[in-house]
């Protein structure tokens, strides 16, 4: 079903995260959501999906950042600010 709104796309992404039917790889699961919601050549639906994915990432980063103060000493992110955590995660993913 074509994404009718950004909220619709967000719902489908979250659903794929929480209700992964076959314990698929996360990337495969999200790719399937993308394929179902974006008909070929539909730039509007693609823009909605991309915005929804960006929103979900932002929500998850905020959740992760709000838990920085609860990390035990010795954790690799202990003592980082939210901005430092994001930069460190980007750096680690480039390796």
Tokens of 42: 């539909």
Please state the domain extents for the chain: 6-94
Tens-digit pLDDT profile for residues 28-64: 889 999 999 999 999 999 999 999 999 999 999 999 9
**Comparison of pLDDT for 82 and 45, the residue scoring more:** 45
Instruction: Give the 3-state DSSP-derived string for 24-40, with helices as H, strands as E and coil as C.
Output: CCHHHHHHHHHHHHCCC
CA atoms within 13 A on the CB side of 89: 13
Tens-digit pLDDT profile for residues 57-75: 999 999 999 999 999 999 9
What residue spans of the chain are helical by DSSP H?
A: 6-18, 26-37, 43-66, 82-94
Question: If you search the block for the tokens 């920085």, which residue do you land on?
Answer: 68
């Amino acid at each position: 079903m074509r994404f009718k709104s950004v909220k619709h796309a967000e719902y489908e992404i979250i659903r794929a995260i929480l209700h992964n039917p076959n314990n698929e790889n996360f990337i495969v699961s999200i790719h399937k959501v993308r394929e179902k919601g974006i008909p070929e050549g539909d730039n509007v639906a693609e823009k909605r999906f991309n915005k929804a994915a960006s929103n979900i990432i932002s929500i998850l980063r905020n959740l992760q950042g709000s838990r920085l103060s609860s990390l035990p000493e010795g954790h690799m992110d202990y003592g980082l600010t939210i901005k430092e955590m994001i930069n460190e995660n980007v750096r680690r993913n480039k390796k």
